[in-house]
Amino acid sequence: MLMDDMGWGDLGINGDPARETPNLDAMAREGMLFTDFYTANPLCSPSRASLLTGRLPIRNGFYTDNIHARNSYTPQEIVGGISDWEILLPELLAENGYRNKIVGKWHLGHQKQYLPLRHGFHEFFGSTNCHFGPYDNKSRPNIAFFRDDHMIGRYFENIKIDKNQQISDLSQSYIKEAINFITTQSDPFFLYWTPDSLHAPTFRSVPYIGSSSRSSSYGDALRELDAGIGKILDTIKQNQTLANNTFVFFTSDNGAALVSTTDAGSNGPLLCGKQTTFEGGVREPAIGWWPSRIPHSTVSRQSATIMDLFRTIFSITDIPMPIDREYDSYDLSPVLFANKRIDTNIYYYRGNQLMAVRNGDYKSHFWTFTNPLEQFKTGINFCPANFIKSITTHALTNYTQSPKLFHMIRDPGERYPIPENSIEYKSVIHKYINLYNKHISNTIPGKPLLNWCDKAVMHWSPPGCEALNMCLPVPQSKPYRCDWPH
């Protein structure tokens, strides 16, 4: 279960005072809460590509080198998408008898060759892109919505979203689709459930309007998804075989998008939000659930990432991993099933640049950046109410000669850099410099897939448009280098 832009601090059990995620809190009581769980990137597409490949974006190609250290993703004019060479989690599971379904947002490319059914999924209900729009179908087409390998409509046309009132039944459709899939499988299955109602502009269905104490569409949408997660877990619990044999993991693709102000979640005490490699951009709410195997009501401070789910799932299912490529994935079985701690390195990337490294209790920043000053002055702020001198910088700042060091247990909010003349700094910094240098010299970057854009590849005539009489004329192809503003 992968949320979109949900923040660490949104989870009641992580300390949100209103505690409006009762079902997720119950899930954590029945399983293991991860306090130090990370995504692979502070943006949707790269983190999703990493979840499904077990590899950092720098390896699987979900980055740009058009500009140094800039975030990139898959808008509808992107030419690139997931490479055929990558072996996705569902591909390996399918080879071993699993039935795989994705419900929600794909975001690994929308051209025909990138669709989920070409990459290991048997079923798809959702969209390849964010629910942006509406558009005029002349300068930009409305985004297609898919059932399996063909479109069944477009956002704002057949798939209704009332953008002004922030209302849609889409999350309810996703909940029903998940429950229907779970209850009709005879073979082992993998469900990738990834609703996007928490991504601005957020939306919720009518019964949830005003249901949250935040009195925001985001808060209502969170209540709706929390209730849906409760229903999905109940479906599993009602069938003894399913309950004994189903591993469920809950997390989010990146931190709360604080830039969206009132239409965003909370990162609790963490610094900044989505788009940044500070903790608010990449540390996620996370829960592992498997009542017959994971000890109940446990809290793990293990630092781990979304990519670890890849190796963990193949360890649990006893399926061998490919040996012809590098992975950024640890087996979390000893953590999940015995509450042990393993030694892990966390690498924080922004585009083509390794920004920071965490190992154990310390995190070291080798580069810092929020967004360019001229953009910040227009009101785009990834760190509202957060200003840490020399840390939340509006220039890409190189600290490789004197890295910034934080203690993540004493100071998870990255407020107090450890002084460079202190005994503590001097005794630990070399370890992080070595990790940084070693990772860079050992990592062979994949070909960047998010460099090129072209209006001709937008959702003019997706597969299935003929049957619906919804094909739009495709403009002439004119590839250009995508502009990544931050």
Instruction: Return d(Cα 4, Cα 130) in angstroms, integer.
Output: 10
Selected catalytic residue, list 44, 272, 383, 453: 44
Question: Which helix H or strand E contains 280, and what residues bound it?
Answer: helix 279-282
Under rule CB under 5 A, residue 306 binds Ca ion? no
Nearer Cβ to Ca ion, position 226 or 253? 253
Nearer Cβ to Ca ion, position 105 or 455? 105
CA 61 to each of CA 41, 57, 378: distance values in angstroms, whole numbers, following the listed order:
13, 6, 31
Name the one range near Ca ion by CB under 5 A: 41-49, 97-105, 300-308, 379-387.
Answer: 41-49
Name the one range near Ca ion by CB under 5 A: 43-51, 167-175, 343-351, 359-367.
Answer: 43-51
* Torsion on CA atoms 103, 108, 112, 117, rounded to nearest 10: -40
Selected catalytic residue, list 68, 107, 465, 471: 107
Q: What is the total count of residues that contact Ca ion (CB under 5 A)?
A: 5
Name the one range near Ca ion by CB under 5 A: 32-40, 247-255, 322-330, 422-430.
Answer: 247-255
Spatial contact of 451 and 482, defined as CB atoms under 8 Å apart: yes
Under rule CB under 5 A, residue 202 binds Ca ion? no
The correct pick among 60, 254, 267, 303 for binding Ca ion (CB under 5 A) is 254
Is 44 tagged catalytic?
A: yes
Under rule CB under 5 A, residue 4 binds Ca ion? yes
Show the tokens assigned to 89.
């989690």
Give least dist CB 281 to Ca ion, A.
Answer: 11
Show the tokens assigned to 38.
């990370």
Name the one range near Ca ion by CB under 5 A: 210-218, 245-253, 312-320, 359-367.
Answer: 245-253
Give least dist CB 252 to Ca ion, A.
Answer: 7
Under rule CB under 5 A, residue 10 binds Ca ion? no
Q: Which residue is nearest to Ca ion (CB)?
A: 44
Spatial contact of 126 and 101, defined as CB atoms under 8 Å apart: no
Under rule CB under 5 A, residue 5 binds Ca ion? yes
Under rule CB under 5 A, residue 253 binds Ca ion? yes
Question: Within 75-159, where are the H helices?
Answer: 89-95
Question: Which helix H or strand E contains 191, and what residues bound it?
Answer: strand 189-194
Question: Within 89-216, where are the H helices?
Answer: 89-95, 170-183
Is 107 tagged catalytic?
A: yes
Give least dist CB 200 to Ca ion, A.
Answer: 10
DSSP 30-46: TSEEEEEEE-SSSSHHH
Nearer Cβ to Ca ion, position 170 or 429? 170
As annotated, the active-site residues are 44, 107
Q: Which residues bind Ca ion (CB under 5 A)?
A: 4-5, 44, 253-254
